[in-house]
């Protein structure tokens, strides 16, 4: 065989190699996808993604904690002073600026996921609030949240998350 012949053949071989490698890569990718995807939340977990909560028994100033998607959700019936405090804060003083009215559906009711946005601990709250801003205080790494659940001081990067929720009636909310 001459060298020229080899050269001619190599282009054909190159083509076959590229096609084989491409098909192979797609095949491996298709095979890996289910292996990666199986680790994501399964259908039974997603099916439990919403809950309804009766809020008629919560007194002014009190707070309840319910479990939603394995996480605590704080439902707080804020006092007039707490609402006022939350609304009067200047945006300049906030680490993650957000108006109080954008975080609530009815100003009396604050619904937030009770998971510190730093590393996932449950902040302490309760009547009168905790921490320097009378909202919540995370015991793990010292993040302070105000009466609107906004981060004011400490390592947490963002405000307490407001879950997707709606008032089904005056006494009932649906989270998720």
- The residues assigned a catalytic role are 141
Does 67 participate in binding other proteins (rule CB under 8 A)? yes
CB of 151 to other proteins, least distance (A): 11
Q: Which is nearer to other proteins, 100 or 137 (CB)?
A: 137
Six token digits for residue 107: 């100003």
Site string for other proteins, 96-135 (x = CB under 8 A): -------------------x--xxxxx-------------
Give me the residue label for tokens 């997603």.
46
d(CA 64, CA 61): 10
Considering beta carbons, is residue 61 or 142 the nearer one to other proteins? 142
Which residue's entry shows tokens 């905790």? Answer: 130
Q: Does 33 bind other proteins (CB under 8 A)?
A: no
* Rounded Cα gap, residues 43 and 113, in angstroms: 22
Specify the 3-state DSSP secondary structure of 136.
Answer: strand
149: nearest Cα among 84, 88, 104 = 104
Residue 174 makes contact with other proteins by CB under 8 A: no
State which of residues 2, 5, 11, 40 lies at the interface with other proteins (CB under 8 A): 40
Rule CB under 8 A: which of 82-101 touch other proteins?
A: none
Determine which residue in the list 141, 164, 171, 172 makes contact with other proteins, applying CB under 8 A: 141
Whole-number minimum distance, CB 155 to other proteins, in Å? 6
Per-residue b/e over 37-63, b at no fewer than 16 CB within 10 Å?
eeeeeeeeeeeeeeeebebeebeebeb
């Amino acid at each position: 065989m001459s060298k020229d012949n080899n050269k001619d053949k190599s282009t054909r071989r190159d083509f076959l190699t590229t096609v084989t490698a491409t098909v192979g890569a797609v095949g491996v990718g298709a095979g890996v996808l289910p292996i990666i995807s199986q680790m994501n939340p399964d259908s039974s977990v997603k099916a439990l993604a919403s809950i309804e909560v009766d809020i008629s028994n919560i007194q002014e100033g009190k707070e309840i904690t319910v479990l939603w998607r394995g996480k605590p959700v704080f439902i707080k019936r804020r006092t007039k002073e707490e609402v006022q405090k939350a609304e009067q804060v200047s945006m300049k003083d906030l680490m993650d600026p957000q108006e109080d009215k954008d975080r609530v559906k009815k100003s009396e009711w604050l619904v937030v996921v009770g998971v510190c946005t730093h590393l996932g601990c449950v902040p302490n709250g309760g009547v009168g609030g905790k921490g320097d801003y009378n909202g919540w205080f995370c015991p793990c790494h010292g993040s302070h949240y105000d009466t609107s659940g906004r981060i004011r001081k400490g390592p947490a990067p963002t405000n307490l998350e407001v879950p997707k929720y709606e008032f089904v009636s005056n006494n009932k909310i649906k989270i998720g």
